[in-house]
Amino acid sequence: MPHSAEKTLDTAVAAPATDAVTLDINQIQQILPHRYPFLLIDRITGMEPGKRVTALKSVTMNEPYFAGHFPGHPVMPGVLVVEAMAQAGGLLIMREFEPNSKLVLFTGIDKCKFRKQVTPGDQLRIEVTVLNWRSRAVKMGGNITVDGKLVCDATVMCQVVPRLIKKAEAGPETAE
């Protein structure tokens, strides 16, 4: 007959894997300051806090930039592909601080390569990993795939700065 400790192990519920962290668009908006039309991630599908994140962006014909980039041959601008990568990384970083206390500002891009065009109907799978984090400066490596094929990879750098809340954002003052 098994010992009671063995029975406890058999019935214990395992802690969820860190990759099991998921966030929907409403939860993303509670962390990132970006809004339509410039919020470029739709869902977080996995996260290892402070280390790595996986996000999704569904690209539709309704994106405002397709009206002029390019009529009759819509292509997502490469700078916005990289911005989606930076936003995923920014969310990963901002989760480490008190809500609305910091902003993550994009400071540089290294070794960026665009390998395939992104068009309406594509779903970007964005993976970002922290390479180096020193106080306020963060360097991250990222890659974006569509249907398992690499479309962009880059190293992005950013800086964490205090977020100054204007009175209009902070809400009405109350009399004491």
Decide yes or no: CATH 3.10.129.10 for domain 16-170. yes
Question: In the chain, count of helices (H) and strands (E)?
Answer: 4, 6
What would the pLDDT profile of 31-62 be if each residue is shown by its tens digit? Answer: 999 999 999 999 999 999 999 999 999 999 99
What pTM value is reported for the model? 0.83
69 tagged catalytic: yes
Question: Residues 129-154: what's their mean pLDDT?
Answer: 97
Residue 165 — very low, low, confident or very high, per pLDDT cuts 50/70/90? Answer: confident
**Cβ contact 150:144 at 8 Å:** yes
Q: What is the 3-state secondary structure (H, E, C) of 90-150?
A: HHHHHCCCCCCCEEEEEEEEEEEEECCCCCCCCEEEEEEEEEEEECCEEEEEEEEEECCEE
Confidence of residue 11 (pLDDT cuts 50, 70, 90): very low
Q: Please state the domain extents for the chain.
A: 16-170
